[in-house]
Homo-oligomer: A and B are copies of this chain.
Amino acid sequence: MSATADDGTPARLKGAASWLINQVSLHSQRLVAEGMAAAGARGYHYRLLAALEEFGPASQAALGRRTGIDRSDVVAMLNELSDQGLVRRSPDPADRRRNVITITLEGARRLHSLDQVLAGIQDELLAPLSPDERAELVRLLSALLAHHSGR
C-alpha cells in the first residue's frame, strides 16, 4: 500500500542474529549518544565516571582495563573530563609513572544525572517488552557476553 515500495529488508538479514543485534545496537547507541550529548557528555565519559565512583581513584591504565577503553583514548577522555572539572588528575607519589584520577563532587553530580538519562533510555529502548521479557533479554545477552569474555 503506502511505502516507497523500495524498502523491505532482505530476508537473509532479518533472520540473522548478528544483524539483529547490530541493528538494535545502532538504535541503542543513537539513543545513548543523543542523551549524553544533551548533557554535554558522551558514552566514554559515563563509563569512566562510573568506574571511578564505583572503585574509587585509580590510575589511567586501570581505568582503561575496567572500562574496556584503550589507554590512549582514556587520555583524551580524561582531558575532556578534567577540562569540565569532573575529574582531577594528579601524579601518584607512590609511583611516578602513574596519575591518580579522582572523581570530583561535580563529577559525581554529573554521573548521577547521566544515570537518570541512561535509565530513561533503557525504558525507551525496551519499550515494547514486558518486564519479564526485559529480564529474559538481559539474561540472554549476559550469557552471550560472559561466553565471549576472553576478548
Contact = CB atoms under 8 A, between A and B. Distances in A.
Highest count of chain B CB atoms <10 Å: which of A12, A133, A147: A12
* Interface bracket on A: 35 or more
B138 A137 contact: no
Main secondary structure of the interface of A (DSSP, over half): helix
Contacts of A12: 50, 54, 115, 118
B54 A20 contact: no
Given A18-B118, A28-B21, A13 B50 contact: yes
Copies of this chain, complex-wide, total 2
A30 to B, nearest CB: 9
17 contacts: A7-B65, A9-B68, A10-B47, A10-B55, A14-B142, A17-B137, A18-B32, A18-B118, A18-B121, A20-B138, A22-B25, A22-B29, A24-B141, A24-B144, A24-B145, A127-B147, A128-B143
